[in-house]
Chains A and B, each alone.
Chain A
Amino acid sequence: MKIRQISVFLENRPGRLSALCRTLADAGVNLSTLTLAETGEFGLLRLMTADPDKAKQVIEQAGYAATATEVVALQVPDRPGGLASVLRVLETHNISVEYMYAFAMRAGGDAVMVFRFDDMDRALAALQAAGVNVFTPVDLFGA
């Protein structure tokens, strides 16, 4: 099951990130996970929350450029080679990972990793066939 992630464009200047976080906090948006990918000049802030549409609206109204994309959250066994076993499934199906990052919370003893693939639908099918646990929004954010 795919989950909506919001990406926000940020210039690399001091205070930009905290200003955005304050905006979200003031609007009562609770962030479940937050990660920043940067070049030297700018960054893309990727965030997940229970209500992505509201988050996007709040962010855009505050004057930021934002876009919504779909990602998947997978259960990755917390043991040596755990991540490698997941990646191998994708490799055999010739699917590449655009980016990935760790979700802030863990599931039981295992890690939760967020993935963006070049072909999301094929990736999902392959992962589910291989028995990898794909989280739903309810799993991550509660009902």
Chain B
Amino acid sequence: MIRNLWNDLDGTFFPESALDYMPADRLREVQLQRLKAATALAYDRVPLFRERMDARGAKPGDVHRLEDVCLLPFSIKNDLRDKYPYGLFAVPMSEVVRLHASSGTTGKPIVVGYTAEDMEVWKQVIMRTLYAAGYSRGDVVQNMFGYGLFTGGLGLHSGIEGIGATVIPISGGNSERQVMVMKDFGVTAVCSTPSYFIHLIEVAAKLGIDFKRDLKVKRGVFGAEPWTDRMRQYIETASGIKAYDIYGLSEIIGPGVASECTCQSGLHVFEDHFLMEIVDPATLEPVPDGSEGELVITTLSKQAMPVIRYRTRDITAIEPRPCACGRNLRRIRRISRRSDDMFIIRGVNVYPSQIETALLRTEASLPHYQIVLTRKSGLDRMEVRVEVTGEMLSDRLSEMEGLQRRFARSIEQITSLHTDVTLVQPGTIPRSEGKARRVLDNRNEPV
């Protein structure tokens, strides 16, 4: 037990990480105590939560065991939109020291708030995230998550400073400058979305910079979008760094909800602050450990905006076995897809991740793509637009047509649906916050 208080990599003592190794029974006690307090706080201060509790005849006092969380009502993203901007806050604005918001791709944005205490918790979970991935004082960290209203940039920022590393608050964009900074500033670690980093690997190659020889980057934490093991393999082989998955969402806190340790086998959830459940997205009933379902999170310590049983729409499973690193925090598997990204075409459920898998069978790195759904004479049609890169390009038309056919065939193999694949010029698929909008559903648009 004492050994575990020391960091697994170099034996340095990190007091913040000690919580990762809290004995399981003690951890459950802490969770229960905090769940009771969070329920009481939300009931007292958040009218929407109280109305829903009253409607089902539940009282905060009904929570006696952790399993009693299922007595509480679910909350969804739309609640944050409906109560925009401050309707779900549990403290007066004089207690709120920070606001973040997500740019709404559809309708109004959502706003989240933090008290000074919330900010401290946020910093702590990011510090634990970074320690778990082997970051420490002395690292020079290039933080490429967007700064501003998005929680990614500033969220990681405070934790990087917290562990005493050097933070470069460069934010996203301007790829050539990113590579230049990485080289000139002697950057040893990065924070980024995986797709943006893959793009930077390509940019560096184009600039004649060899990631392994010319740069000192050793590790990176990657998140803010679903990614795959194949993408991790590509990042690690092409750039020679270790790539760790991190998970979070603004509605809960931002980054810092769960993160991978150096074992790279699932993400440890910071369970002392976040209570997780996995439910069947259709029935909302809990599923057994190891089975896939939608991740539902209750904040246990959040003051400004306690969130009870939030449906993340992210599909994952609890990893039942203990982790080799010795942490007692349970793990979730890499988020492979989102339940609301799923679309149904001709009666078949399709996830964008399946299209990604299909594209990656043909290409080493995931090209930018977009799924466009249309309807003609009552018949649904799926088109996948793929941006052509220099690496894919051939001077022969027959090869380009062959590439198109290979894409279509592997999509058909995975989804059993016929697809039209369209090759488009680079940069023509719209991007938002570094992520492309994956699915464009025009089926109800007038033709």
**Is B390 close to A, CB under 8 A?**
yes
Q: Are B389 and A7 in contact (CB under 8 A)?
A: no
**Chain A interface, >50% SS class:** strand
State whether A41 and B422 are in contact (beta carbons under 8 Å apart), knowing that A46-B395, A63-B427, A67-B395 are contacts in the complex: yes
CA distance A135 to B193 in the complex (A): 49
Q: Are B423 and A66 in contact (CB under 8 A)?
A: no
Q: Mark A1-32, 1 if CB is under 8 A from B, else 0.
A: 00001010111000010000000000000000
CA distance A9 to B390 in the complex (A): 9
The residue in chain A whose Cβ has the minimal distance to the Cβ of B428 is A11
Which of B395, B423, B427 touches A7 (beta carbons < 8 Å)? B395
CB contact list, A74-126 vs B, under 8 A:
98-99, 116
CA distance A69 to B396 in the complex (A): 10
State whether A37 and B425 are in contact (beta carbons under 8 Å apart), knowing that A65-B388, A65-B390, A67-B390 are contacts in the complex: no
**Is A34 close to B, CB under 8 A?**
no
State whether A10 and B425 are in contact (beta carbons under 8 Å apart), knowing that A60-B206, A60-B390, A65-B392 are contacts in the complex: yes
The residue in chain B whose Cβ has the minimal distance to the Cβ of A6 is B395
**Is B397 close to A, CB under 8 A?**
yes
CA distance A60 to B428 in the complex (A): 14
**Is A141 close to B, CB under 8 A?**
no
The residue in chain A whose Cβ has the minimal distance to the Cβ of B424 is A11
Shortest Cβ gap from B136 to chain A (Å) = 39
**Is B341 close to A, CB under 8 A?**
no
**Is B394 close to A, CB under 8 A?**
yes
**Is A58 close to B, CB under 8 A?**
no
**Is B401 close to A, CB under 8 A?**
yes
CA distance A60 to B388 in the complex (A): 12
Shortest Cβ gap from A103 to chain B (Å) = 16
CA distance A37 to B397 in the complex (A): 7
CA distance A41 to B401 in the complex (A): 10
Q: Are B424 and A67 in contact (CB under 8 A)?
A: no
**Is A44 close to B, CB under 8 A?**
yes
Q: Are B426 and A65 in contact (CB under 8 A)?
A: yes
CB contact list, B388-444 vs A, under 8 A:
388-390, 392-397, 400-401, 422-428
Q: Are B393 and A63 in contact (CB under 8 A)?
A: no
CA distance A15 to B389 in the complex (A): 21
Across chains A and B, the number of contacting residue pairs, with CB separation under 8 Å, is 56
From B393, B394, B395, residue with most partner A Cβ within 10 Å: B395
Q: Are B393 and A9 in contact (CB under 8 A)?
A: yes
Q: Are B390 and A69 in contact (CB under 8 A)?
A: no
Q: Are B393 and A65 in contact (CB under 8 A)?
A: yes
From A16, A63, A65, residue with most partner B Cβ within 10 Å: A65
- Chain B residues, CB < 8 A from A10: 425
The residue in chain A whose Cβ has the minimal distance to the Cβ of B176 is A61
Q: Are B396 and A99 in contact (CB under 8 A)?
A: yes
CA distance A98 to B397 in the complex (A): 10
Q: Are B395 and A5 in contact (CB under 8 A)?
A: yes
The residue in chain B whose Cβ has the minimal distance to the Cβ of A57 is B206
- Chain B residues, CB < 8 A from A44: 395-397, 400
- Chain A residues, CB < 8 A from B396: 44, 98-99, 116
- Chain B residues, CB < 8 A from A46: 395
The residue in chain A whose Cβ has the minimal distance to the Cβ of B397 is A37
- Chain B residues, CB < 8 A from A69: 395
Shortest Cβ gap from B309 to chain A (Å) = 45
State whether A42 and B400 are in contact (beta carbons under 8 Å apart), knowing that A7-B393, A65-B392, A67-B395 are contacts in the complex: yes
The residue in chain B whose Cβ has the minimal distance to the Cβ of A116 is B395
- Chain A residues, CB < 8 A from B387: 65
CA distance A41 to B426 in the complex (A): 15
Shortest Cβ gap from A15 to chain B (Å) = 12
- Chain A residues, CB < 8 A from B423: 9, 11, 41-42
- Chain A residues, CB < 8 A from B401: 39
From B390, B392, B427, residue with most partner A Cβ within 10 Å: B390
Which of B206, B393, B394, B425 touches A11 (beta carbons < 8 Å)? B425
Q: Are B395 and A63 in contact (CB under 8 A)?
A: no
Q: List 6 A-B contacts (CB under 8 A).
A: A7-B395, A9-B425, A39-B401, A41-B423, A42-B423, A44-B396
Query: Other than the known A9-B388, A44-B400, A60-B390, what 11 A-B pairs have Cβ atoms closer than 8 Å?
Result: A11-B428, A16-B425, A38-B397, A39-B401, A42-B423, A44-B395, A65-B387, A65-B388, A67-B393, A67-B394, A99-B397
Q: A: which residues have CB within 8 A of B?
A: 5, 7, 9-11, 16, 37-39, 41-42, 44, 46, 60, 63-67, 69, 98-99, 116
Q: B: which residues have CB within 8 A of A?
A: 206, 387-390, 392-397, 400-401, 422-428
Those 6 A-B pairs whose CB atoms lie nearest each other, nearest first = A7-B395, A67-B393, A69-B395, A65-B388, A9-B388, A63-B427
